[in-house]
């Protein structure tokens, strides 16, 4: 692969847990634990995992919406983690985000036009009123909405339409990379397909690169070039989309895949049930984070040694002592 | 915004959108006015308030009885043709005194409310977005003001500044400014807490995060995204402050810290009248009624404003 558009190296994010008499930091939530990955220009990396595994935090760290504790993020040869002031403002034109909840992500007191147009004002992308309006109309049409929607308020739209407005807002600055933070999880299944198709269509037309965060593997398989599976702040397996779905190596990936519903009624299903809950990220298990729930664990190895990502075949990496 | 019913956002939302005519030339301000007009109680409140203001503004030029004409032959007399609202214990005409006093009371109520709301919003907004130490400092200040013994403190402030201020701008205006600042200065704390709490919760919302991702400065996030959504409770609190300020002003008069005893205000008339409730109920009734009606009207206007400014609300 040529020079990747986005490189994440050893990203760490610990959230402080405050408590006690004077609100001291008494503990830390280890949300992201040395995560590294690359995304090539025009590609889509699917990032999957359960709730609380750190996938959304990863997306927000890349955009510097939250400050990473350690690690480096490189975007088109520039170090994102070291950016300040104007440089960071300029970065906002290259990277955008689409949120999960289309109801919470649009300001209820602003018209759709001013929501989409805000980026044009902040970055001075329109010379006059006419250009400003034309650009908003163009963006609305890009996402399949009409010019008459400009003066309406977000509550007048359905979930899918709102998500389109969110996409138009992200596109206003003509970004190169869009972090899609579970963009379809809150939508009806029929609407999900429409929004996914819109995202793919936009990628073809505008040459966008996506970091696509989701907990639904079926959705990710459809849109992703590569997929990375996260568990408790670590990437446990990463491979091309086809490879991962055909030959999952990590037992956690297997369990996730076995949970995807199969539309064929005659298909024989082999469900792999995981025992217990996700452990507390304040005190993650020793060794392999997954060893407390793993069906194939071998103690004491798995509970003492931290597995590293190893390449098993071309582009297929897995962090497991037994399958690596 | 408890108890408000928001528009449903599913199928009928789409229908409304698709059935819409082409671009409507409507500015947000005009839209708010259109929504306000549909709020019947608010319009009634606005009309009553406008009438009250008009009455006290031009009333004294029509009802030309002097406010301090003493008539011992008509002490504590009930309403009559000569004295439509009756007289007080000195036989002074209550209508004339109410018209004159209304100017002071309404002005004090509105200005003190504005002082409290503006100052409280400012402190709360700064505390809500500022880093830890500044936030903690401002909240200590708020707690300090809440725990101060207010009356002795008011006494001290007015005693200290009354003469220097009245020397500059004249007796009545000086006392007016002092009273508004003092009353407003002791009512901003709940607003500050309210605004700070709203900001702390709103700044974690995704639409504010989206603004951050677009590169919006902190002040832009607060002014464009956070404050407009925090406005509802502040407006309601503000309307209640008008009533409190009118009453507080009368308390100051009562203690001899406000306007001189010969200057009538609604609060003062109410205080004076309460001793005569059994023999001259009209005295307290009309002044109390005037305060009540004004406060109620402002409250309805506040309710209407809050709803008109919230586009989610179906009116």
Interface test with A, best of B214, B217, B220 (most A CBs within 10 A): B214
Please say whether the beta carbons of A276 and A295 come within 8 A: no
The pLDDT tens digits of the residues spanning B123-144 come to 999 998 887 888 899 999 999 9
Checking B231-236 for CB contacts under 8 A at 24+ apart, the result is B231/B306, B231/B309, B232/B1, B232/B306, B232/B309, B232/B310, B233/B1, B233/B194, B233/B198, B234/B117, B234/B120, B234/B121, B234/B191, B234/B194, B234/B195, B235/B302, B235/B305, B235/B306, B235/B309, B236/B302, B236/B303, B236/B306
Across residues B225-243, what is the average pLDDT?
Answer: 83
Instruction: Give the pair of three-digit tokens for residue A147.
Output: 């010019």
Which among A60, A65, A152 has CB closest to B17?
A152
Residue with the larger pLDDT of the pair A54 and A269:
A54
Q: Which residues of B touch A133 (CB under 8 A)?
A: none
Confidence class of residue B260 from pLDDT cuts 50, 70 and 90? confident
Q: Which residue has the tokens 């100051």?
A: B252
The predicted pLDDT at position B6 comes to 45
Interface test with A, best of B198, B207, B218 (most A CBs within 10 A): B207
What is the C-alpha separation between B2 and A64, in angstroms, rounded?
35
Q: How many residues are present in chain A?
A: 324
Domain ranges for chain B, please list them: 28-63+88-308
Q: Is A10 left (phi over 0), alpha (psi -120 to 50) or beta?
A: left
Q: Which residues of A touch B220 (CB under 8 A)?
A: 122
Contacts of B246 (CB under 8 A, 6+ apart): B105, B106, B108, B109, B266, B267, B291, B294, B295
- Are A107 and B207 an interchain contact pair (Cβ–Cβ within 8 Å)? yes
- Are A106 and B207 an interchain contact pair (Cβ–Cβ within 8 Å)? yes
Q: Which residue has the tokens 């001075």?
A: A124
- Are B20 and A159 an interchain contact pair (Cβ–Cβ within 8 Å)? no
Contacts of A317 (CB under 8 A, 6+ apart): A237, A238, A239, A309, A310, A311
Chain mean pLDDT for chain A: 87
What is the C-alpha separation between B78 and A224, in angstroms, rounded?
87
B28-63+88-308: CATH class? mainly alpha
Across residues A123-132, what is the average pLDDT?
Answer: 88
- Are A155 and B224 an interchain contact pair (Cβ–Cβ within 8 Å)? no
> Strand pairing of A209-214 and A44-48?
parallel
Please say whether the beta carbons of B74 and B82 come within 8 A: yes
Confidence class of residue B314 from pLDDT cuts 50, 70 and 90? low
Report yes or no: B228 at the A interface, CB cutoff 8 Å.
Answer: yes
Across residues A108-125, what is the average pLDDT?
Answer: 89
The pLDDT tens digits of the residues spanning B5-46 come to 444 444 444 434 443 444 444 566 677 788 888 888 889 999
N-to-C CA span, chain A: 23
Q: Which residues of A touch B26 (CB under 8 A)?
A: 151
Question: What is the ipTM metric for this complex?
Answer: 0.86
The CA distance from A110 to the nearest CA of chain B, in Å, is 8
Instruction: Give the pair of three-digit tokens for residue B32.
Output: 């708010």
CB burial readout A254-271, b (16+ within 10 A) else e: bbbbeeeeeeeeeeeeee
- Find the residue in B nearest to A152 (Cα): B17
Please say whether the beta carbons of A245 and A257 come within 8 A: yes
Report yes or no: A111 at the B interface, CB cutoff 8 Å.
Answer: yes
- Are A156 and B228 an interchain contact pair (Cβ–Cβ within 8 Å)? no
Which among B13, B24, B228 has CB closest to A158?
B13
Q: Which residues of B touch A158 (CB under 8 A)?
A: 9-11, 13-14
Instruction: Give the pair of three-digit tokens for residue B253.
Output: 């008069």
The CA distance from B148 to the nearest CA of chain A, in Å, is 25
Confidence class of residue B3 from pLDDT cuts 50, 70 and 90? very low
What is the C-alpha separation between B117 and B231, in angstroms, rounded?
11
Which among A89, A100, A101 has CB closest to B215?
A89
Confidence class of residue A235 from pLDDT cuts 50, 70 and 90? very high
The pLDDT tens digits of the residues spanning A128-177 come to 888 899 999 999 999 999 898 888 888 888 888 999 999 999 999 999 99
Cα four-point dihedral sign B305, B309, B314, B315: positive
Q: What residues pair up with A181 in beta bridges, in sequence order?
A: A213
Q: Hey, what domains does chain A have and what are their CATH numbers?
A: 6-94+175-318 (3.40.50.300)
From residue A323, give the alpha-carbon distance in Å to each of A248, A253, A275, B147: 10, 12, 20, 66
The predicted pLDDT at position A58 comes to 92
Q: What residues pair up with A180 in beta bridges, in sequence order?
A: A98, A212
Confidence class of residue B176 from pLDDT cuts 50, 70 and 90? confident
Residue with the larger pLDDT of the pair A270 and B105:
B105
Percent of chain B with pLDDT over 70: 89
The predicted pLDDT at position B63 comes to 77
Checking B125-128 for CB contacts under 8 A at 24+ apart, the result is B125/B195, B125/B196, B125/B199, B125/B222, B125/B226, B125/B227, B127/B192, B127/B196, B128/B195, B128/B196, B128/B198, B128/B199, B128/B200, B128/B203, B128/B222, B128/B226
Q: Which residues of A touch B307 (CB under 8 A)?
A: none
What is the C-alpha separation between A32 and A35, in angstroms, rounded?
7
A86: exposed, middle or buried (C-beta count within 10 Å: 0-12, 13-18, 19+)? Answer: exposed
Report yes or no: B204 at the A interface, CB cutoff 8 Å.
Answer: no
What is the C-alpha separation between A307 and A39, in angstroms, rounded?
23
């Amino acid at each position: 692969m040529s020079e990747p558009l986005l490189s994440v190296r050893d990203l760490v994010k610990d959230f402080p847990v405050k408590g006690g008499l004077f609100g001291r930091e008494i503990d830390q939530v280890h949300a992201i634990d040395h995560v590294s990955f690359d995304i090539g220009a025009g590609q889509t990396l699917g990032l999957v995992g359960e709730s609380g595994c750190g996938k959304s935090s990863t997306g927000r760290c890349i955009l510097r919406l939250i400050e990473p504790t350690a690690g480096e993020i490189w975007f088109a040869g520039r170090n994102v983690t070291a950016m300040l002031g104007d440089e960071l403002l300029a970065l906002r034109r290259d990277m955008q985000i689409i949120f999960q909840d289309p109801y919470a992500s649009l300001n209820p007191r602003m018209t759709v036009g001013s929501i989409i147009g805000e980026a044009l004002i902040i970055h001075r992308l329109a010379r006059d009123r006419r250009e400003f309006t034309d650009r908003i109309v163009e963006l609305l049409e890009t996402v399949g909405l009409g010019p008459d929607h400009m003066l309406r308020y977000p509550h007048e739209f359905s979930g899918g339409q709102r998500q389109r407005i969110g996409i138009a807002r992200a596109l206003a600055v003509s970004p190169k990379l869009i972090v899609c933070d579970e963009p379809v999880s809150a939508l009806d299944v029929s609407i999900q397909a429409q929004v996914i198709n819109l995202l793919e269509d936009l990628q073809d037309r505008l040459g966008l690169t996506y970091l696509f965060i989701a907990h639904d593997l079926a959705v990710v398989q459809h849109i992703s070039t590569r997929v990375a599976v996260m568990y408790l702040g670590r990437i446990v397996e990463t491979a091309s989309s086809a490879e991962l779905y055909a030959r999952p190596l990590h037992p956690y990936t297997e369990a996730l895949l076995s949970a995807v519903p199969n539309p064929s009624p005659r298909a024989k299903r082999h469900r792999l049930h995981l025992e217990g809950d996700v452990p507390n990220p304040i005190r993650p298990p020793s060794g392999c984070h997954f060893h407390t729930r793993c069906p194939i664990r071998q103690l004491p190895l798995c509970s003492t040694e931290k597995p590293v990502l190893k390449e098993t075949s071309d582009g297929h990496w897995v962090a497991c002592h037994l399958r690596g | 915004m408890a108890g408000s019913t928001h528009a449903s956002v599913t199928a009928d939302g789409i229908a409304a959108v698709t059935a819409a005519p082409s671009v409507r030339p409507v500015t947000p301000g005009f839209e708010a006015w259109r929504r306000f007009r549909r709020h019947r109680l608010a319009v009634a409140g606005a009309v009553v308030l406008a009438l009250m203001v008009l009455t006290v503004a031009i009333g004294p030029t029509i009802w030309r009885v002097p406010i301090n004409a003493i008539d011992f032959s008509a002490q504590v007399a009930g309403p009559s043709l000569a004295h439509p609202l009756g007289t007080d214990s000195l036989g002074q005409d209550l209508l004339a005194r109410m018209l004159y006093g209304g100017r002071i009371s309404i002005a004090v109520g509105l200005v003190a409310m504005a002082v409290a709301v503006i100052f409280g919003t400012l402190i709360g907004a700064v505390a809500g977005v500022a880093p830890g130490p500044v936030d903690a400092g401002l909240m200590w200040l708020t707690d300090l003001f809440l725990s101060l013994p207010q009356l002795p403190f008011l006494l001290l402030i007015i005693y200290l500044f009354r003469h220097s201020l009245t020397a500059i701008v004249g007796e009545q205006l000086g006392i007016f400014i002092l009273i508004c600042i003092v009353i407003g200065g002791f009512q901003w704390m709940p607003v500050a807490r309210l605004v700070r709490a709203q900001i702390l919760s709103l700044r974690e919302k995704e639409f504010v995060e989206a603004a951050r991702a677009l590169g919006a400065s902190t002040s832009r996030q607060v002014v464009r995204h956070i404050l407009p959504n925090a406005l509802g409770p502040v407006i309601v609190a503000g309307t209640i402050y008008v009533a409190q300020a009118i009453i507080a002003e009368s308390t100051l008069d009562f203690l001899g810290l406000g306007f001189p005893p010969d200057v009538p205000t609604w609060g003062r008339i109410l205080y004076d009248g309460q001793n005569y409730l059994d023999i001259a109920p009209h005295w307290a009734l009309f002044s109390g009624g005037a305060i009540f009606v004004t406060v109620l009207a402002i409250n309805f206007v506040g309710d209407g404003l809050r709803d008109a400014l919230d586009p989610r609300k179906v009116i």
